[in-house]
Amino acid sequence: MNHLKYMLAFVAMLSILAACNDEFLDRAPQTSIGKENFFTTEEDLSIYINNLYNFSGTGIYYNDFATDNAATTGNTELKTMMTTNPSSATITGGWNWGELRTINFFLENFTRANLSDETLNHYEGLARFFRARFYMNKVKRYSDVPWYDEVIETDDMEALFKGRDSRDFVVDKIFEDYQFAADHVFENQPTGAVNKWVVKAYMARHALYEGTFRKYHDELNLESTASAFFQMARDISKEIMDGGNYSIHNTGSPSSDYHSLFVSSDLTSNSEVILPNIAIHDLKNSGFSETIFGNFEVSVSKDLLQSYLMSDGSYYTDQPGYETKLFVEEFENRDARLSQTYAYPGWELIRTATYSQGGGIYIQQLQKNFSGYHLIKSFVNSTNQEDVNNVDVPVLRYAETLLTYAEAKAELGELTQADLDLTVNVLRDRAGVPHLTMNPPVDAVQQARYPNVTDATLLEIRRERRIEFAMEGLRFDDLMRWRAGKLLEKEPEGLYFPSLGKYDLTGDGVEDIILIDASESVPSSGNKEVNSLGVTLIYYRAGLQNSDAAVYLENGTSGTVQTVIDRGEFIEAKYYYRPVPETHVTVNSNLTQIFGWD
């Protein structure tokens, strides 16, 4: 299988690199390719389409950092928006259209190749798939955007200076593209390439996005049209499910099956992965950095941890005193996915580059502006660089198709126990968690997150989605489409400490760290206390935020670890969208701002 993976990655790289070889460089640049010297063979079409591939690699694990799933000390657009007074002069990214021109140029010229109608339709479908993805990202950001399905010439003033088309119009065009692609892109393609099922998985994802966005965002006045998109998400997901090509990866090892998806050196034959981003050492390195684990910029939140169920299926937040449980207690009798996402008591750290305390049984490292929790999902815990470079990324997982189907059915009011058993409960089986049943008891904490939802089953589907895809880059879009932006105002918190003193963080009953008051000095190495195992305790000076303490606690000497003083304000409905950058509006007065932006 490793040999097969090598060949697939090699072929993929050759296809991309072919665009840069001497023969290709002898041709005219893309923006001035003459119809007489390109688009004449299938090889030309394939090379061109390969240059449109832009699927996420390891970056998918960095997209949850500015949500309620994690804190970040780094700069993000939304973080800046919520703590400043943003305008079209300061929010300037995103209004770029070069990729669209590239796609439309292909669509205007690909039929020059002397190929069968079936093959030409396949390539048209691929290009229209990429155009649909491009435009969906624009709609997510701006809502109303100009629709272009042809290359704009420099003297076409009407096209160059047109205004926005309505969201309704553009989205209809997007799904026309998706439908053409779903009908014509070939099913049998090399692993890692776009095939019919990849198209349908994205189509279902974006149909669910649009349906929920329209339902919960009354500022659009499109609520009455939401059901059609739920139906599309339902039907396309079911087509994938009925196709029989994919299944949830489950070897019967609930303590490791989930985690293995994110640190695998070979996802090419994994039954769950609809689209892998294939890596191979020294040819196309994965790019996995050890900083995803250490106190670099990110730290996962207590709020996410508290969303995971108990191993008996009950709500963690139903336990008396759940808010003040110590670190070791937080991991006892939980959904197995928690200890495959968070570094847990007793976990062994091997790859130590960003962890000053060294390897061995992991002792939770504390630091100001970080929660104290560390992420092991997708963390390659090996010092062998070949292991690190060789990890594939699951860009699209069948698990998403199952939860898209379940959520669409719930939104339509059609959900049954049989649907849950086909979807949510397949994922719970892998994690060793009891099944979800219809009309479960309401979790008050989950209800408070989504006050505009009254269906308890839908609340649990949303929980399942948050847990299953934790730190995979889907959370931000979910919060936006559910109109849950206010959750981003809550400052992420970390471990709880009832007082200063000594604490066990490894679960062996022996203290590992000691918290002292920020006014005290850490003793010299010869004067530090040792525990019953003869190991020197790790000292932390604790205090309030903005003090010179090494770790910030809510009350200075007790409470949860603090990450940021104030995340700012999420202004509804404005911050669900972005402004057209001021420079473009200045040039083209037809590009008016919407939803309160100036």
Q: Torsions phi, psi of 72, nearest 5? A: -145, 140
pLDDT at 35: 60
ω before 182 within 30° of 0 (cis)? Answer: no
Distance CA 398, CA 394 (A): 10
> Does the pLDDT value for residue 241 go beyond 60?
yes
Distance CA 316, CA 329 (A): 11
pLDDT at 291: 74
Distance CA 474, CA 79 (A): 17
For tokens 């998806």, the residue is: 261
Of residues 400 and 292, more confidently modeled: 400
- What count of residues does the chain have? 598
> Does the pLDDT value for residue 263 go beyond 70?
yes
> Does the pLDDT value for residue 14 go beyond 50?
no
The neighbouring-strand residues paired with 496 are 560
Q: What is the SS3 string spanning 191-246?
A: CCCCCHHHHHHHHHHHHHHHHHHHHHCHHHCCHHHHHHHHHHHHHHHHHHHHHCCC
pLDDT at 9: 46
Q: What is the DSSP letter of 513?
A: E
> 353, 347, 255, 230: which is closest to 296 by C-alpha?
353
Q: Confidence band (pLDDT; 50, 70, 90) for 20?
A: very low
Q: What is the DSSP letter of 162?
A: -
**What pLDDT, in 10s, does the model give residues 426-478?**
999 999 999 999 999 999 999 999 999 999 999 999 999 999 999 999 999 99
pTM for the whole thing?
0.93
> Does the pLDDT value for residue 520 go beyond 90?
yes
Ordered alpha helix ranges (H), 278-413: 302-307, 327-330, 385-389, 398-411
pLDDT at 296: 79
Amino acid at 446: Q
pLDDT at 313: 98
pLDDT at 27: 34
**What pLDDT, in 10s, does the model give residues 190-202?**
999 999 999 999 9
Please give the share of the chain, as a percent, with pLDDT higher than 70. Answer: 94
Average pLDDT over residues 14-37: 42
Radius of gyration of the chain (CA): 26
Of residues 154 and 414, more confidently modeled: 414
pLDDT at 63: 77
> Does the pLDDT value for residue 232 go beyond 50?
yes
> Does the pLDDT value for residue 31 go beyond 50?
no
> Does the pLDDT value for residue 357 go beyond 90?
no
Of residues 357 and 81, more confidently modeled: 81
pLDDT at 189: 96
Average pLDDT over residues 72-93: 94
pLDDT at 37: 81
Mean pLDDT score of the chain? 93
> Does the pLDDT value for residue 26 go beyond 60?
no
